[in-house]
Chains A and B, each alone.
Chain A
Amino acid sequence: MTEVKNEKSPTKKQYFKNFLKYRFLLWELIKKNIKLQYRNSILGVFWTFLQPLLTMIVLTLVFGGIFGRGKGMVNYPIYLLCGRLIFDFYSQATKKAMRSVVSNASIVKKVYVPKYIYPLSSVVSTFITFSISLTVLIFVMGYFNIFTPQKVEITPYILLAIVPILILLLLCIGIGMLLATLEVFFRDIEYLYDVFCMLLFYMTPVFFVVEDMRLSRKMEMVLMANPLYSIVSMFRSCVLYGQMWNWNWFYYSLGVSIFFLIIGVFAFYKKQDKFILHL
């Protein structure tokens, strides 16, 4: 059921009112995404912990010998886990958001709903599963601190880990809305983006350390231009090294995230009335 949304240019107040009206839908969709993800698996929520844990073990076995011996390396498994959790959240959230409008085409075509609800709910529900999966990090850190000599120093800075996560959330919403818009018009963006994500995985220091690679200055600059580099590095500063981050990372990643947020929201807003003609 709809109230009127047909005026040429709804005011900000109307947008806000409309959001309030549909906040229940946002909530229902978030709940649905999370519920259905676990409904048909025996291990249920347990997978959220098991999957990062298993990839951490595999990657440690594969790359531990090569990359795990740098002089600054405190604890390679935790180094890996931090990188992987952050990267996985980024890639899953943006991929789900990308498909969200197209996969809900049957609703968008027939009932009025504010369309941004779909990419937004995809990102937020992925964010919630990501938050749950962070507990695995706590367990692994506890394990290393209690049972092994490879201790990780835990300082109050660990509380600041929320900052890079929130920056990442902004980035995901922005990129997600941009991709969702593109996906409506060009379905093959999906394949291009899959390949792009693979490239991004190798460009993000998930299993290697940029500073230890002895790359040319130019190559290093390319890797550092990736906002995920700054976000992962900030996260590791807080969690693994227990110190304040390099502020350049903060300014850069926040700047890039806000830039993409503006681009994404703008593209979505400009094109949303055309969606129905292409679904």
Chain B
Amino acid sequence: MAEPVIQVENVSMMFNLNNEKIDNLKEYMIKMATGKLRYNEFWALKDINFTVEKGDRLGVMGLNGAGKSTLLKVIAGVMKPTQGKVNVKGVIAPMIELGAGFDPNYTGAENIFLYGATMGYSRKFIQSKYDEIVEFSELEEFIDVPLKNYSSGMKARLGFAIATAVSPEVLILDEVLSVGDAKFRKKSEAKLRGMIDTGITVLFVSHNTSQVRKICNKAIILQKGQIIESGDVDEVCDKYTEMINK
């Protein structure tokens, strides 16, 4: 029954923090010649271990800079960990940044296919979901307008509609529950709830303990790149509240 969907084993992630960011050859040469090429090591994640089983909804909490986003990026495959291994079974829908694959010069309709392809879906598959996406995003009138003329709320709606049109095994949510206006937010929450109820695995990042309690059944707290607390959602949320109030 309990089948591990996400396995994170001894994952550590190191960044080289330069005192100044060097992104051109000229500065690099000057710094090298004057012997100022220094790197400060910074471990954003240190030896993270956890397993998420099928149907689990895991809340990831922590203060700013605790390594939450890095952890999600490592799980989503955007970053490769410096050490350790991540195993994910099935399709992940990383709703970390909606609309990251959009092109402003493309129309809404063209962007649906482009974004779908960025997520690794075939044209045929997106075609079959096309009507559903347009309907959900409520953009029927504007679908042939270039995206640069969309408002930010419209873009977010389109991104959300595409990302949720598919049925992934793992859903990664990074505080995206605040898409669009109140009406659309309600609709999107209902949609997410519907997806969660079908028993998919969810990773949810938030500062908001009441939201975490509502969605998740398990939680972890990250602090300075390490897991300091993990377990049942209510226990961990209580600890987190305690931690903040200290």
Contact = CB atoms under 8 A, between A and B. Distances in A.
Interface of A: 1-8, 21-22, 24-25, 27-29, 32, 35-36, 39, 106-113, 185-189, 192, 273, 276-278
A37 to B, nearest CB: 10
B101 A2 contact: no
Contact of A188 (B25, B76, B88, B101): B25
Interface in B21-44: 23-26, 28
A2 B94 contact: yes
A5 B85 CA distance: 10
A6 B118 contact: no
A29 B78 CA distance: 19
B77 A187 contact: no
B81 A6 contact: yes
Contacts of A109: 78, 100
A255 B75 CA distance: 41
B78 A110 contact: yes
Contacts of B94: 1-2, 110-112
Given A6-B81, A107-B100, A111-B101, A186 B25 contact: yes
Nearest to A40: B105
Contacts of A39: 105
B23 A185 contact: yes
23 contacts: A1-B120, A2-B77, A2-B91, A2-B94, A3-B120, A6-B77, A24-B120, A24-B121, A25-B118, A27-B123, A28-B114, A32-B106, A32-B110, A106-B100, A107-B101, A109-B78, A110-B78, A110-B94, A110-B100, A111-B78, A186-B28, A188-B24, A277-B16
B85 A4 contact: no
Contact of A4 (B79, B86, B114, B119): B86
Contacts of B168: 1
B47 interface: no
A174 B42 CA distance: 34
A187 B28 CA distance: 11
Contacts of B25: 186, 188-189, 192
Interface of B: 15-16, 23-26, 28, 74-81, 85-94, 96-97, 100-101, 103, 105-106, 110, 113-114, 116-123, 166, 168
B75 to A, nearest CB: 8
Contacts of A35: 110
A263 to B, nearest CB: 18
A125 to B, nearest CB: 14
Among all A-B residue pairs, the 5 with the closest Cβ atoms: A112-B77, A188-B24, A186-B25, A25-B117, A110-B100
Given A6-B86, A36-B106, A112-B78, A278 B91 contact: no
B103 A36 contact: yes
A276 B23 contact: no
A7 B85 contact: yes
Given A28-B114, A36-B103, A2 B26 contact: no
A186 B24 contact: yes
A112 B79 CA distance: 8
Contacts of A8: 85
Contacts of B90: 3
A134 to B, nearest CB: 27
A179 B57 CA distance: 43
Contact of B117 (A24, A108, A188): A24
Interface centre among B26, B76, B92, B120 (most CB of A within 10 A): B120
A42 to B, nearest CB: 16
Contacts of A187: 23-24
Contacts of B116: 24
Nearest to B96: A110
A278 B23 contact: yes
